[in-house]
Structure 1
Amino acid sequence: MKIRTTEERDLPAVMEILHQAQAYFKAQGIDQWQDGYPDEATIRQDIQNGTAYLVELDGIVAACATIAFTPDENYTTMVSGQWLTDRPYAVIHRIAVDDKLKGRGIAGWILEQAEHLCRQRGVESLKIDTHQDNTSMRRLLEKQNYHYCGVIQLHRDLSLRVAYEKRLDKK
């Protein structure tokens, strides 16, 4: 497996994976990504910002994620709970794995690669949020030693998300 930044030419493969994730959430009754988000414009913006990443496995696009090293406006205040730290952090959004490749540990590997990128930049905290009903992501985060911190409200649609943080300065 290899992680790299997403390029414009990767957009069709990334959108296919995101559409699979949207269909999965719908089938599972999870009200996440059911309003057309994330759309192509969102991913194009991530590409332009240099925050869109993908995983290649045997030459094919296997998964995608956004890893950003700038503050997320949605994380400024919490509806309930408290972040572990108030220091600079990275944020992970939009993790999705190709349906044909699920169960191979790719999402966990993405989280590990994000930690590696953080350590390279001296960033000691990673934050992520997900829908409360997305139990597979919540289990993964807990398995990877992310700590549940509370609830945030997304600015774009006012929906609530459960928020997690992992301190990278703790062994």
Structure 2
Amino acid sequence: MTIHLGTPYDLDTVMRLKGACVLRMQQMNIDQWDEAYPNRISFEEDINQGNLYLYSLDDLLIACAVLNENQDSEYQEVNWAYHAENIAVIHRLMVHPEYWGKGIASKLMSSIENIAVSMGYSIIRLDAFLKNPSAISLYTKLGYRHAGKVAFRKGQFMCFEKRIDGVSAVDFEKHGITVMHSA
């Protein structure tokens, strides 16, 4: 497995991954994503800002997530327990439905957390759609603290946070993950 930053060349593949995720979520009556969000423009911006991490297995994109510092204005309403000058935020995590239930999301989150540690972050925040029980369960299982709820266009979202300071970055190779660095 490899994790690397997305490039403009990856955009069409990312959009196909998003389409597969949306279709499966719709089949499960989870009306979280659609044509409006996340859209091609948001992924182009993620790529241009160097924030989109792709997780591949044998050159096949199976998951991705965004890691940046962008906190939606709604986050100001949340009673966060952890504070720091620079806080990492995870957005748009998705795993191809064929790989759901196989631990890929947990491995991707672990990789993203370790990348955040290596970049000097001590706290990660994120949110999950309340009507997506798998996402809520994942973040809870991974040790994220429930911090409150916010409302976005599609409804209520649970906010999560986790302290990652004092945690040393794990050896990716030990877990079968290769980090590819862009030139």
Q: Same fold (TM over 0.5)?
A: yes
- Equivalences for residues 97-112 of structure 1 within 5 A: 97-112=95-110
RMSD of the alignment, in Å?
Answer: 1.8
Separation in 1, partners of 2:81, 2:110: 19
Which of 153, 156, 160 is 1:160 aligned to? 156
Q: Which runs of 4+ in 1 moved over 4 A?
A: none
CA drift at 1:158: 7.6
Please, which runs of 5 or more residues in structure 1 have no aligned partner?
none
CA drift at 1:160: 2.9
1:86 to 2:80 alignment: no
8 Å CA contact 1:74, 1:153 repeated in 2: no
Separation in 2, partners of 1:20, 1:158: 19
- Equivalences for residues 5-20 of structure 1 within 5 A: 5-20=5-20
- Equivalences for residues 52-91 of structure 1 within 5 A: 52-68=52-68, 70-74=69-73, 76-78=75-77, 81-87=78-84, 88-91=86-89
SS in 1 for 2:19: helix
**Structure having greater relative contact order (Cα 8 Å, sep ≥ 6):** 2
8 Å CA contact 1:31, 1:131 repeated in 2: no
1:117 to 2:129 alignment: no
- Matched residue, 2:177: none
CA drift at 1:86: 2.0
User: Identity over the aligned pairs, expressed in percent?
Assistant: 28
- Matched residue, 1:143: 141
Separation in 1, partners of 2:31, 2:102: 25
- Equivalences for residues 39-54 of structure 1 within 5 A: 39-54=39-54
8 Å CA contact 1:151, 1:162 repeated in 2: yes
CA drift at 1:170: 6.2
TM-score normalized by the length of structure 2 = 0.83
- Equivalences for residues 23-34 of structure 1 within 5 A: 23-34=23-34
Which of 129, 132, 156 is 2:130 aligned to? 132
Separation in 2, partners of 1:133, 1:73: 20
- How many pairs are equivalent? 166
Which string of whole-angstrom CA distances, capped at 9 and with x for unpartnered residues, describes residues 111-143 of structure 1? 111111121122111111011011001111011
TM-score normalized by the length of structure 1 = 0.89
